[in-house]
């Protein structure tokens, strides 16, 4: 039987969580319609042994690819090239899927052809197990639609896609010339955006499918790790800026508006991240370097900072600092540093 959905599982040194993830994907009702494609990204612990056992037990459902370490982005790119399902969804090896929404998704996609599916998702604390529901609309509006098929041009001002909310039609990914960055973190932002360049039809669902587990100090979104890896985050965002700059001439006005809004949110976040550094001199120096690069690569996003996305207050302050040759930066830093750290702490 042809597969409806490929679940790409990114696995690196995940021996303590990978079984829980895979078990959430092995729902008997839909196993014959699903391909679970586990990419072992050069793990050095017991991950490979665990996933090989699942491959042996479920040979018609589970596929395992063992490769050298290339980072989360390399797993996404590999999954795009190997997926057999008509649709594709990525899952990290420390997250899970919600059975009701997952089953519903697969059954619905049997008779639907759309470019992308958006669904709500949970974030959950690994210690307290407390869950919080998130939406796929701007400002995290928890307004969900049950099997509503819409056109991108009618919803481009409303949607807020993330890796956890998106299911793509595989052909959209495979036919795109864009691939996410490898050997780095935070490239899921690229995965969440690049492919909307070719998306015209969207299916909106009401049931949560993904559960994103937080609270592990080793996670890339932990603030300490964000700061240590900030150059990777900057590189990913600047490549998004370059993507927009290279493609905007061929975009419709709706696509331009959508990408401006989304990428503006990420470009502004970098200013916030740098202001969370403990060394104010280093924060100022790196902010000026980043700001210069942004100006050189996309005057549209540079001059329009904060006009399209979030963090408008911070964006206004950045624009004032530009006009004063960054005099007064330390005052702004002292006012916002602790508040920003609190905002971005996961």
Domain end marker among 184, 214, 244: 214
Q: 108 near 33, Cβ under 8 Å?
A: no
Domain end marker among 214, 243, 273: 214
Q: How far apart are CA 48 and CA 112, in angstroms?
A: 35
Question: Are 43 and 75 part of one and the same domain?
Answer: yes
Confidence (pTM): 0.93
Query: Which residue range forms the structural domain that includes residue 326?
Result: 223-344
Query: Looking at residue 308, what is its pLDDT?
Result: 64
The CATH number linked to 43 is 3.90.550.10
Question: Are 262 and 340 part of one and the same domain?
Answer: yes
Question: Are 68 and 187 part of one and the same domain?
Answer: yes
Question: Are 16 and 123 part of one and the same domain?
Answer: yes
Q: How many domains does the chain have?
A: 2
Is the model more confident about 92 or about 313? 92
Average pLDDT over residues 279-292: 96
Question: Are 210 and 230 part of one and the same domain?
Answer: no
Least confident of 58-62, 139-143, 245-249: 139-143
Average pLDDT over residues 268-288: 95
Q: Give the count of alpha carbons within 13 A of 270, CB side only.
A: 28
Query: Looking at residue 141, what is its pLDDT?
Result: 82
Least confident of 110-119, 216-225, 272-281, 327-336: 216-225
Query: Looking at residue 311, what is its pLDDT?
Result: 72
Q: Is 250 exposed, middle or buried (0-12, 13-18, 19+ CB in 10 A)?
A: exposed
Query: Looking at residue 343, what is its pLDDT?
Result: 80
Question: Are 228 and 208 part of one and the same domain?
Answer: no
Question: Are 256 and 231 part of one and the same domain?
Answer: yes
Question: Are 266 and 150 part of one and the same domain?
Answer: no
Question: Are 228 and 339 part of one and the same domain?
Answer: yes
Question: Are 160 and 258 part of one and the same domain?
Answer: no
Which residue is it, tokens 């990408």? 259
**Closest Cα partner for 122 from 16, 214, 241, 225?**
214
Could you read off the pLDDT of 51-90 as tens digits, one per residue?
Answer: 999 999 999 999 999 999 999 999 999 999 999 999 999 9
Question: Are 204 and 320 part of one and the same domain?
Answer: no
């Amino acid at each position: 039987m042809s597969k409806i959905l490929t679940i790409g599982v990114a696995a690196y040194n995940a021996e303590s969580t990978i079984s829980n993830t895979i078990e959430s994907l092995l729902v008997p009702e839909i196993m014959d319609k699903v391909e679970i494609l586990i990419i072992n990204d050069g793990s050095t612990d017991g991950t490979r042994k665990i996933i090989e056992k699942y491959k042996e037990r479920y040979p018609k459902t589970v596929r395992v690819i063992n490769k050298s370490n290339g980072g989360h982005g390399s797993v996404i790119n590999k999954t795009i090239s190997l997926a057999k399902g008509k649709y594709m969804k990525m899952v990290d090896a420390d997250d899970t899927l919600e059975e009701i929404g997952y089953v519903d998704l697969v059954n619905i996609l049997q008779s639907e052809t759309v470019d992308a599916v958006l669904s709500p998702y949970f974030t959950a604390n690994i210690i307290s197990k407390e869950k919080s529901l998130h939406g796929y609309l701007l400002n995290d509006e928890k307004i969900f639609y049950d099997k509503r098929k819409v056109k991108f041009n009618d919803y481009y001002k409303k949607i807020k896609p993330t890796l956890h909310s998106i299911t793509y039609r595989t052909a959209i990914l495979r036919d795109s010339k864009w691939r996410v960055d490898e050997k780095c973190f935070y490239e899921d932002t690229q995965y969440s955006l690049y492919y909307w360049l070719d998306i015209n039809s969207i299916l909106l669902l009401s049931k949560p499918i993904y559960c994103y587990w937080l609270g592990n100090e080793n996670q890339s979104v932990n603030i300490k790790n964000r700061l240590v890896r900030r150059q990777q985050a900057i590189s990913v965002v600047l490549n998004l800026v370059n993507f927009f700059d290279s493609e905007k001439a061929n975009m419709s006005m709706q696509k331009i508006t959508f990408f401006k809004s989304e990428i503006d949110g990420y470009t502004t976040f970098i200013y916030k991240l740098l202001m969370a550094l403990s060394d104010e001199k280093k924060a100022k120096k790196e902010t000026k370097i980043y700001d210069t690069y942004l100006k050189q690569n996309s005057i549209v996003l540079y001059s329009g900072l904060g006009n399209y996305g979030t963090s408008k207050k911070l964006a206004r302050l950045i624009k004032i600092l530009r006009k004063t040759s960054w005099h007064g930066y330390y005052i702004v830093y002292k006012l916002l540093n602790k508040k920003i750290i609190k905002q971005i702490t996961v």
